Amino acid sequence: MRIDLHTHSLFSDGTDRPSELVNKAMSQGITTLALTDHDTIAGWDEAIEWLRPGLDLVLGSEISCQTEDGISVHMLGLLFDPKNQPLQEMMAQTRDNRMGRMERIIGRMNGAGIEITIEEVHAQLSEGATLGRPHLADALVAKGLAKSRDEVFADWLANSSPFYVAHYSPTPEVAIATIKAAGGVAVIAHPLASLRGRVVSIDSFDSYIAAGLDGIEVKHRDQTPDQQQLLFDIAAGSDLAMTGSSDYHGTGKMNELGEFTTDPEEWAKLESRAEARRVIRL
Ligand code: AMP
Ligand code: ZN
Ligand code: FE
Ligand code: FE
C-alpha cells in the first residue's frame, strides 16, 4: 500500500485539477489518496467523479489555524461529514477573511512600489478556489516581477516579511473540536516546519491532545530528521497516529506526489478513530 494523506488541487493553491490528481495517484501506484485543499471541500465532487477501482479516496481539508500568540498552524481534517454546518461555516469565514487580507498585503506591496492589483491576483485563481499567497506569487510571476513562487516567498511573502498579513483563523483547539464534532479525524500538518515561520512549542501538544487530536504529520519534506524524531516520540507517547505525506501542490511546489507516505497500520489507527467509514472506494 502507498498512502498519501495530504495533497492540494487548483481548488486551493495546487495546480492540478482533482481529476488529474486522481489519475496521477493511480498511475504512480498510490493506493490511498487524501485531497486536502486549504479551507474548502470544493474539489471533492470532481475527485469522486474521476475515481476508479484501485484507489481509495479520503476526503478532507487543511484548515488554517492561528494560536493566541499568532503562530500559524495547519490542521488536516479527514473523513468528516461534509454536511456539518459548524465546520462549513468555519471554513467559509476563513475563505472570506482571506479576501480582505489579500487586499491588505497588496496595499503594503503597492506602498513599497511593487505594482500589482487584486484583479491580477484573481486572474490566477480558479473558479471556486480558496485564495492564498501563492496566487499573489503567480500574479507577480505572470507580470515578470519574479521567476517563481519560491522566489516570491523567499523575497517578499515569508511569514516574517513586512508584507505579511495574517487572516482570521480558528485556534488549533477549536479546529480540532470542530473537525471531531463533524465526525472526522484531526491530524496536525507539518507542526515543526520552522522554515515557514514560527512554530508551536512541544508543550502545546498537550492542549491539542486534550482537544482530541488524532494524529501528527511526522514525515514531511519541511521537517528535518531531528524534528521528525521529536514528533515521532510525541505521537508514540500519546498513542496518536503518525503520518507521512507529500503536501503535493502540482507545479506550485517541488513536492512530488507520494514522496512521503503513511504506514498502513498508522492509517488503520487513524481511520478507526473517525465516526463513520467514509473512505470512498469503487
Ligand atoms: P496562505 O494560505 O495564503 O497563508 O499561503 C500559505 C501557502 O503558501 C502554504 O499552504 C504553502 O502551500 C504555500 N507556500 C509557502 N511557502 C511556499 C514556497 N516557498 N513556495 C511555494 N508555495 C509556498
Ligand atoms: Zn498550500
Ligand atoms: Fe500546510
Ligand atoms: Fe498543505
Phi, psi of 238 (to 5 degrees): -120, 15
| 180 touches 186 (CB < 8 A) | yes
Q: Is the beta carbon of 258 within 6 A of some atom in ligand 1?
A: no
| Terminal-residue alpha carbon distance, the chain | 17
pTM: 0.97
Q: How many CB atoms lie within 10 A of CB 4?
A: 26
Q: Is the beta carbon of 38 within 6 A of some atom in ligand 1?
A: yes
- Ligand number, closest to the Cα atom of 74: 3
- Confidence band, pLDDT 50/70/90 cuts, at residue 235: very high
pLDDT reading at 197 higher than 90: no
Instruction: Compute the distance between CA of residue 224 and CA of residue 236 in angstroms, rounded to an integer.
Output: 18
Instruction: Compute the distance between CA of residue 260 and CA of residue 141 in angstroms, rounded to an integer.
Output: 29
Distance 74 CA to ligand 3 centre (A): 5
- Confidence band, pLDDT 50/70/90 cuts, at residue 181: very high
Q: Please return the burial class of 145, using the count of CB atoms within 10 Å of its CB with bins 0-12, 13-18 and 19+.
A: middle
pLDDT of residue 168: 86
- Confidence band, pLDDT 50/70/90 cuts, at residue 196: confident
pLDDT of residue 72: 96
Average pLDDT for residues 194-218, to the nearest whole number? 95
pLDDT of residue 199: 96
Distance 101 CA to ligand 2 centre (A): 16
How far, CA to CA in Å, does 120 sit from each of 20, 147, 149, 167? 26, 16, 15, 20
Distance 137 CA to ligand 2 centre (A): 12
Q: Which atom of ligand 1 is nearest to the CA of 159?
A: 4
Condensed to tens digits (0 to 9), the pLDDT of residues 134-178 reads: 999 999 999 999 999 999 999 999 999 999 999 989 999 999 999
Q: Which atom of ligand 1 is nearest to the CA of 13?
A: 12
pLDDT of residue 100: 97
As a whole-number percent, the residues of the chain with pLDDT over 90 amount to 98
Condensed to tens digits (0 to 9), the pLDDT of residues 136-148 reads: 999 999 999 999 9
Amino acid found at 237: G
pLDDT reading at 195 higher than 90: no
Q: In this structure, which residues have their CB less than 5 angstroms from ion ligand 4? A: 62, 247
How far, CA to CA in Å, does 101 sit from each of 79, 124, 136, 166, 219? 29, 17, 12, 7, 31
Instruction: Compute the distance between CA of residue 190 and CA of residue 88 in angstroms, rounded to an integer.
Output: 23
pLDDT of residue 4: 98
Nearest-CA residue for ligand 1 atom 2 is: 132
pLDDT of residue 132: 98
Distance 172 CA to ligand 1 centre (A): 19
Q: Is the beta carbon of 153 within 6 A of some atom in ligand 1?
A: yes
Amino acid found at 228: Q
Q: Provide the CATH topology of domain 99-157.
A: DNA polymerase; domain 1 (1.10.150)
Average pLDDT for residues 239-259, to the nearest whole number? 97
pLDDT of residue 116: 98
Q: Which residues pair with 38 in a beta bridge?
A: 62
| 51 touches 57 (CB < 8 A) | yes
Condensed to tens digits (0 to 9), the pLDDT of residues 18-52 reads: 999 999 999 999 999 999 999 999 999 999 999 99
Instruction: Compute the distance between CA of residue 60 and CA of residue 185 in angstroms, rounded to an integer.
Output: 9
- Ligand number, closest to the Cα atom of 73: 3
pLDDT of residue 154: 94
H or E segment and range at residue 20: helix 18-27
pLDDT of residue 253: 94
The three cell numbers of residue 282 are 469503487
Helix, strand, coil share of the chain (percent; to 5) = 40, 15, 45
Q: Is the beta carbon of 190 within 6 A of some atom in ligand 1?
A: no
Mutation choice for ligand 1 from 6, 12, 13, 125, CB with most ligand atoms inside 8 A: 13
As a whole-number percent, the residues of the chain with pLDDT over 70 amount to 100
